[in-house]
Amino acid sequence: MSLQNVLDKGYVRLVNHMGSDLTVVNSARVSYAKESKELNEKDIRLLKFLAREGHTSPFRHVILQFEIYAPLMVARQWWKYIVGSAHYEGTGDSLEAWNESSRRYITEEPTFYVPAFDEWRSQPENSKQGSGDIVSWEIGKKYTDELFKYIESGVQKYEEALKDGICAEQARLFLPAYGMYVRWYWTASLQSVSHFLNQRLEHDAQKEIQEYAKAILEQSKSIFPNALNELIKNNQI
């Protein structure tokens, strides 16, 4: 299905999905042995009610599956939603799955995220986390160049280790980790997707994962326009 580029080399691709806004409605109406054949205004009012009152189980009957290619620092933030998926907001199992490519088994060419000169951000003034304004062009250029050198050195040592017969699962220790791109499949219920979006679309989320959240939103909203609109805070669709 559709692929959306993110950052310098990353992307989000909607692989598959199950259900629609109507699926959510009928999952709720089954309590009264009723079913809608086509989505209507009454159904949309029901979606609003379910989201507003926190009746979230019907939103777990629809599923989205994405392929994501992102720097490891983004992947590890994202992974927290898998670890905590059965616990947040007391909702029980939120139907999430994660399968990631592994450098124990593959030796494809390493790819890294390198911020451009005008993308390096300063430390925030009044917080221990997050980031502040863009640094000067001179400082940005310095650290883009330094990062390229650091990556080049690590990749060279990685390739030398492989050439000398070191196994891939140990040779990868030479690769600079946090900027290295990794690829994974993320399968999640609509409730889980909206939980991720509500947190990672916020202005204080790390900018890189914000960009991925925007791509997830863009690819999801055409499939579940009404349900997602009610689940996302501030109606950011």
Q: Which of 13, 52, 104, 200 is catalytic?
A: 200
C-alpha torsion sign, points 209, 102, 17, 95: negative
Q: Is 200 a catalytic residue?
A: yes
What's CA 2's distance to the chain center, in Å? 16
Per the CB < 8 A criterion, the answer to whether 52 and 230 are in contact is: yes
| Beta bridge partner(s), residue 64 | 17, 188
Phi, psi of 186 (to 5 degrees): -120, 120
Residues with catalytic roles: 200
